[in-house]
Amino acid sequence: MILNKPLITQCKHCGEIIEIDTDLECVFSQERSMGVESQYEGVIDDVCPNCSNKISISIDVWEYPVGAIETYSIDTNGIELIESPDFICEDFY
Ligand SMILES: [Zn+2]
């Protein structure tokens, strides 16, 4: 699982647009009726390059069946996500 393009976020403190790119690691998988279900996680802790406001983002993606995004959740702190994320199930290609 990878991000097709960086996440576009905005600093809640100064309004700076911050692009965040991260790898998503498989943290869990299990066999289900239609194949393997996998959970991927990415966590970023950083500061705003403009105002040094602390920012963090935590991404949780479930892939099931293989090659399909089942669901995802994104928690942010100090920043706001201003564009929908675009995930790619890289094993699929
Ligand atoms: Zn800022």
**pLDDT by 10s per residue, the chain, length 93:** 999 999 999 999 999 999 999 999 999 999 999 999 999 999 999 999 999 999 999 999 999 999 999 999 999 999 999 999 999 987 654
Phi, psi for residue 58 in degrees, rounded to 5:
-130, 125
Ligand 1: distance of its center to the CA of 47 in Å? Answer: 8
Ligand 1: distance of its center to the CA of 45 in Å? Answer: 14
Nearest by Cα to 28 from 17, 18, 36: 36
Identity of residue 88? I
Ligand 1: distance of its center to the CA of 20 in Å? Answer: 14
Ligand 1: distance of its center to the CA of 2 in Å? Answer: 26
User: What is the C-alpha to C-alpha distance for residues 61 and 26, in angstroms, rounded to an integer?
Assistant: 9
Ligand 1: distance of its center to the CA of 69 in Å? Answer: 31
Domain holding 9, by residue range, is: 2-92
Q: Is 4 exposed, middle or buried (0-12, 13-18, 19+ CB in 10 A)?
A: exposed
The pLDDT value given to residue 91: 65
The pLDDT value given to residue 93: 47
Ligand 1: distance of its center to the CA of 14 in Å? Answer: 4
Contact call for residues 61 and 24 (beta carbons, < 8 A): yes
The pLDDT value given to residue 90: 79
User: What is the C-alpha to C-alpha distance for residues 54 and 59, in angstroms, rounded to an integer?
Assistant: 17
Please count the structural domains in the chain.
1
Query: What is the pTM assigned to this prediction?
Result: 0.88
